[in-house]
Structure 1
Amino acid sequence: MISISGVNIDFRGELDDGFEEAFLGTFPRRYLPDVSQSKGGAHVVIDRFKGNKFRVFSVSYGKVDEYKIESPVPSAYLNESPVFFLLQVAARAGAKINRTFITDSVALEVDGRGILFLGYPHSGKSTISALALANNLNLLSTENTVVEAREDGIYVVGGTSVLVYDPRVEEIYNVSVPYTDFTRSGYRIVEVNSERRSKSLEKGVKVELIVVLHTAFNFPGASFSPVTGRKIKKTLWYFATSLLKGMDYYEPGPLDLPITEEIMANLNNLLSKASSVRIVEAFGNHKDVLLRSINDEI
Structure 2
Amino acid sequence: MPTFKQILFALIQYPLPHHLLSRLMGKLTHCRRHWLKNLLIRGFVRLYNVDMTEAASADPDDYACFNEFFIRALQADVRSFPEDSKRVVSPADGTLSQVGSLTSEWLIQAKGKDYSVTALLGGDAELAKPFENGEFATIYLSPSDYHRFHMPLDGTLKEMRHIPGRLFSVNESTAAAVDNLFGRNERVVCLFDTEAGPMAVVLVGALLVASIETVWHGVVTPPTAREIRRWTYQESPIHLERGAELGRFHMGSTVILLFGQNAVRWLDAQPGQSIRMGESLAKPVFDS
State the TM-score bracket (shorter-chain normalisation): under 0.3
**Structure possessing the higher relative contact order (Cα contacts under 8 Å, 6 or more residues apart):** 2
How does the TM-score come out when normalised to structure 2?
0.28
How does the TM-score come out when normalised to structure 1?
0.27
